[in-house]
Amino acid sequence: MSSNALAVVPAKKKQPKKKGTGKKEQRRTTRANIGIGNAKYKGGPAKPNRNPLDLMSRKLSGQEAGMVQYLMGLSSPTIPCRVPIVLGSFLLDTNTYSYVFNGTVSATSTGFAYVGAVPDGWQEFNNDGGPTYQFLATTTQGNPVWFNVQAGTATITAPLGSASGANHAAAQLIKVDTALNAGSRYRNTSIILSVWPDSPATTTQGDICIAAIASEQAQDDGILNSATFASVAALPQEYVSHIEMPLANWNPEHQAHAFPVPYAENCFTINYMQPNGTQSAGGFGVCAIVNGAAVGQTFRYRIEYKYETTAPLSFMTGQEYQAATEPVPTSALVPHLAALKPMSTIKAPAKHLTAIPLHAMGTAQPGLLAKIKNTGPSIGSVIGKAAATAVSAGIKQLPYVGGVLGGMFDSLFG
């Protein structure tokens, strides 16, 4: 070989760069993982998505998500309640509201005590005369909640049309939005009554009956007005849902709950507001009646009224995003409402109330319940973490259900 020849040196094989070893790669990887879920990096950590309806919509259709949210709101405190049915080929821009009545009722000298609540605009005699009792108004609000006066001599719940006085007292609603006016329309979407004794355990006595109307006929009959413990306890469950229980040795974690289940299209009608709400006692949709208590013995009540109104003039901004839902055919919702009726009265911790709509879904549409279960880690956000862990125990306490359905929920939710 000539000395002038160039030596050929094999090129060093370039080694592939290990991913994530360089500063630039590390920085890029870190940024990609800052967000939560699929959120994009925008200079800081993304906010976790806690909107239950949005979480459910990942697995549910728009109609299914709207129906689940409605069933939850109908039977569970604090959850907004918007009716998913639209009567007509149009969509409404609506707001939702919640107003809570809290109070204490004391037994009379005869050991009698009661509290009752009237649905707002649900009743129409002969279905053609408009709402009989309306309480949300543009000027003077009505009195939807009634209870006995301790110093009085009441032995029955307030008769239809009675006024406050020596034996019966009323609680007045507030105007839930000052922007509502004569052109506003509204519907009362849910009423949830919860009661529990707060008298000393050593002296608490007597029994309590908690009831919710289960039929249009019961509402038209005013069957929970001028009523006694015995008269309500004797009614057929298909007519009025009710349970009776002793007040002595009451579990302090429990309350007795009742909510009326919509029974006709009247319950979904969007009514015009009246100038003045009804001041006299209307037909109760839910009530609690105590019998055989000691004089002055007390129990507490919590009554939540949920409303949906056409959106009034507002300069509000920053409203939280809500996943889109679609109107649900009445035929799809009716089986769920029918499944709710036998469970519209219950004694259990408030957190177990979310088990009621879940059971109704499992009865009316098992596939829908399975879809909710398949939302995986987000199930706690959908029904609340405490409710998700307690749902089986809640189901087992429901009347007419028993351990079989409790086992079903154990298998679904683990």
Give me the pLDDT at residue 413, please: 46
**SS3 category, 288:** strand
What does pTM read for this prediction?
A: 0.80
Give me the pLDDT at residue 143, please: 98
Give me the pLDDT at residue 339, please: 92
Within a domain: residue 27?
Answer: no
Q: Give the integer Cα–Cα distance in Å for 75 and 279.
A: 27
Does residue 280 share a domain with residue 336? no
Does residue 165 share a domain with residue 59? no
Does residue 277 share a domain with residue 221? yes
Give me the pLDDT at residue 26, please: 47
Q: In the chain, which stretches have pLDDT less than 70?
A: 1-58, 87-91, 126-128, 318-325, 374-414
Residue range(s) defining the domain that contains residue 351: 50-84+325-414
Could you read off the pLDDT of 170-191 as tens digits, one per residue? Answer: 999 999 999 999 999 999 999 9
| Domain closes at, from 252, 280, 312 | 312
Does residue 103 share a domain with residue 77? no
Within a domain: residue 388?
Answer: yes
Give me the pLDDT at residue 85, please: 82
Strands 274-276, 185-197: pairing kind: unpaired
Q: Give the integer Cα–Cα distance in Å for 323 and 390.
A: 27
Does residue 168 share a domain with residue 215? yes
User: Between the CA of residue 233 and those of 78, 82, 85, 289, 355, what are the distances in Å?
Assistant: 29, 32, 34, 10, 25
Per the structure, the count of domains in the chain is 2
Does residue 116 share a domain with residue 67? no
Within a domain: residue 211?
Answer: yes
Tell me how crowded residue 189 is: count the other CB atoms within 10 A of its CB: 24
Give me the pLDDT at residue 6, please: 47
